[in-house]
């Protein structure tokens, strides 16, 4: 009995081409997803930076360490429809994407942009969940 090699070789070639096409498609989709994540991250960072700059423009000239009430009033006046209410979590007052650390007297100590906090090269990610783990930046 003779084996007909042509159908066997064509089948192997077809399967190899299907495998190559699947690998190429996976690579293209993965690269597109990664680029989309990078663009989204930079948009998010830009929004945080814009919010901190707006806070600096509002407070640094006259009041570099505003009280909680002044921060909440400013946030309410600049908040659009898509933003929720400010909230307290992890020892910070969160105004949209920026956490604000207040001292015992209710005055601003520093700010913590959340995306900067999440992008830190940290050896133990569980420590980032502890209150006060965010590295503070001065507002002014």
Q: Is residue 31 one of the residues assigned to a domain?
A: yes
For residue 68, what pLDDT is reported?
Answer: 86
Q: Is residue 66 one of the residues assigned to a domain?
A: yes
For residue 14, what pLDDT is reported?
Answer: 96
For residue 93, give the nearest of 53, 55, 121 by alpha carbon. 55
| Statement: the pTM of the whole predicted model exceeds 0.85 | no
Indicate the number of domains in the chain: 1
Q: Is residue 135 one of the residues assigned to a domain?
A: no
Could you list the residue range(s) of the whole structural domain that residue 42 is in? Answer: 5-129
Q: Is residue 137 one of the residues assigned to a domain?
A: no
Which residues of the chain are under the pLDDT cut of 50?
123
For residue 50, give the nearest of 102, 119, 115 by alpha carbon. 115
Task: Give tens-digit pLDDT for 65-96.
Answer: 888 888 888 888 887 666 678 888 777 888 87
For residue 123, what pLDDT is reported?
Answer: 47
């Amino acid at each position: 009995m003779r084996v007909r090699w042509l159908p066997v070789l064509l089948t192997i070639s077809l399967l190899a081409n299907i495998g190559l096409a699947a690998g190429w498609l996976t690579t293209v989709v993965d690269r597109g997803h990664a680029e989309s994540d990078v663009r989204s991250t930079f948009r998010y960072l830009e929004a945080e930076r814009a919010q901190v700059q707006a806070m600096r423009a509002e407070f640094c000239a006259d009041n570099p360490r505003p009280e909680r009430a002044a921060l909440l009033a400013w946030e309410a006046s600049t908040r659009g429809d898509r933003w929720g209410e400010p909230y307290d979590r992890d020892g910070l007052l969160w105004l949209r994407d920026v956490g604000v650390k207040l001292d015992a007297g209710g005055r601003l100590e520093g700010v913590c942009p959340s995306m900067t906090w999440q992008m830190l090269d940290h050896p133990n990610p569980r420590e980032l969940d502890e209150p006060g783990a965010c590295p503070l930046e001065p507002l002014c």
